[in-house]
Amino acid sequence: MIRFDYARPDAVADAVRAGAGEHAAFLAGGTNLVDLMKENVARPLEVVDINRLPLGEITDLDGGGLRLGALATNNDTAYDDRVQARYPLLSSAILAGASPQLRNAATNGGNLNQRTRCYYFYDVDTPCNKREPGAGCGAIGGVNRIHAILGASSQCIATHPSDMCVALAALDAQVQVTGPEGDRTIAFADYHRLPGDEPWRDNSLKPGELVTAVDLPPEDFSTNYTYLKLRDRLSYAFALVSVAVAMRIEDGRIAEARLALGGVAHKPWRSAEAEAALSGADPGKPAFALAADALIAGAVGQGDNSFKIDLARRATVRALEQAAAGTPQSQTDKRIR
């Protein structure tokens, strides 16, 4: 490991000041950052430990929404009574990820900002534009079974690995940040970015900006929802494809539907056309198949990962069927420490 300075401020303003340097990194649960430092992928010269900041609470918002503190752990969030009752899609997505031990350490802010799991990004002996701008991309033409089928560029075909973020995208969450230029709110759809020709930028945070909270709007999708995650083994594995569905059914028709795909792009993938195809429709296979086709329109395989196109289509139909049927999600009922 390289040498670095370490600071552990008590106040958000001090953390923002300490994190403003070009080579600074915020340390939350450390379940991703510390791994990357050990692998020599992340080489911060200043590590700003934010664990003493007062950002660990989950609080009700006026009007019925919920604010998830950036330092609330993934498990505390998933098992919060209000999250389970009002946002079970989010609980299910979080609990589909990692392991109980990891989720006890991992924080909400860290989950949003975790880096890709592209093998080449982790292997410092191979070219990677995300790790080293201009170096090339080992995954294009290489081993790319886990890579993107949507929104990729000629510079990078990495995916965003988070489960939680797929649900947050479907729920239209908002990210609260504070930085050297003050506070701002970022719509979740604009938080993560596509790689384009700047694949080293995962999200729209400006230098030194700190995520302080994630706000959930008050909509109620607690009856018809699903988080479906398909992966190589049943636990402790990242999604090859995942689908978050939040739906409202009124008088036998779909009044509103939200759909987001994970494991297929550099950010959770939504499509206005897919959701429009569901609006007002009968909740059945014909509408679900149309929506699935719209959601993956433009998908391109890279070779090893071409199977994901059909997998995403079929997973979307299945997730919509489960959500429409109100199939309960089995993972939210007991806490394992």
Ligand X SMILES: Cc1cc2nc3c(=O)[nH]c(=O)nc-3n(C[C@H](O)[C@H](O)[C@H](O)COP(=O)(O)OP(=O)(O)OC[C@H]3O[C@@H](n4cnc5c(N)ncnc54)[C@H](O)[C@@H]3O)c2cc1C
Binding site for ligand SF4 (CB under 6 A): 116, 118, 120-121, 128-130, 137-139, 156-158, 199
Tell me the residue nearest to ligand X as measured from the CB: 110
User: Is 79 one of the binding residues for ligand X (CB under 6 A)?
Assistant: no
Q: Which residues of 26-38 are buried (b: 16+ CB within 10 A; e: fewer)?
A: bbbbbbbbeebbe
User: Is 80 one of the binding residues for ligand X (CB under 6 A)?
Assistant: no
What's at 312, amino acid-wise?
A
∠ Cα 219 106 109 (to 5°) = 55
Q: Which is nearer to ligand X, 163 or 215 (CB)?
A: 163
User: Is 116 one of the binding residues for ligand X (CB under 6 A)?
Assistant: no
Q: Which is nearer to ligand X, 113 or 174 (CB)?
A: 113
Question: Smallest distance, Å, CB 254 to ligand X?
Answer: 28
Q: Which residues of 113-152 are buried (b: 16+ CB within 10 A; e: fewer)?
A: bbbbbbbbbbeeebbbbbbeeeeebbbbebebebbbbbbb
The item of ligand SF4, ligand X, none sharing an interface with residue 79, based on CB under 5 to 8 Å by kind, is: none
Which of 18, 72, 169, 211 is the binder for ligand X (CB under 6 A)?
211
User: Is 102 one of the binding residues for ligand X (CB under 6 A)?
Assistant: yes
Q: Which is nearer to ligand SF4, 65 or 142 (CB)?
A: 142
The item of ligand X, ligand SF4, none sharing an interface with residue 114, based on CB under 5 to 8 Å by kind, is: ligand X
Measured from the Cβ of residue 155, the count of other Cβ atoms closer than 10 Å reads 19
User: Is 107 one of the binding residues for ligand X (CB under 6 A)?
Assistant: yes
- Decide: 211 and 176 in contact? Cβ < 8 Å: yes
Residue whose tokens read 């534009």: 129
Q: How many alpha carbons fall within 13 Å on the CB side of residue 63?
A: 7
The item of ligand X, ligand SF4, none sharing an interface with residue 95, based on CB under 5 to 8 Å by kind, is: none
Token pair recorded at residue 281: 């429709």
Measured from the Cβ of residue 80, the count of other Cβ atoms closer than 10 Å reads 18
CA distance 302 to 304: 6
Backbone angles phi, psi at 246, to 5 degrees: -130, 125
End-to-end Cα separation, the chain, in angstroms:
31
Q: Which is nearer to ligand SF4, 42 or 290 (CB)?
A: 42
Question: Smallest distance, Å, CB 266 to ligand SF4?
Answer: 8
Question: Smallest distance, Å, CB 230 to ligand X?
Answer: 12
Size of the site for ligand X (CB under 6 A): 31
Token pair recorded at residue 145: 């079974």
Q: Which is nearer to ligand SF4, 50 or 165 (CB)?
A: 165
Question: Smallest distance, Å, CB 158 to ligand SF4?
Answer: 4
Q: Which is nearer to ligand X, 160 or 270 (CB)?
A: 160
Q: Which is nearer to ligand X, 107 or 322 (CB)?
A: 107
User: Is 109 one of the binding residues for ligand X (CB under 6 A)?
Assistant: yes
User: Is 243 one of the binding residues for ligand X (CB under 6 A)?
Assistant: no
The item of ligand SF4, ligand X, none sharing an interface with residue 164, based on CB under 5 to 8 Å by kind, is: ligand X
The item of ligand SF4, ligand X, none sharing an interface with residue 151, based on CB under 5 to 8 Å by kind, is: none
User: Is 242 one of the binding residues for ligand X (CB under 6 A)?
Assistant: no
CA distance 322 to 187: 27
Q: Across-strand partners of 186?
A: 175
Measured from the Cβ of residue 2, the count of other Cβ atoms closer than 10 Å reads 9
CA distance 117 to 57: 29
Binding footprint of ligand X on the chain (CB under 6 A): 25-33, 50, 70, 74, 97-98, 102, 105-107, 109-111, 113-114, 161-164, 210-211, 236, 238
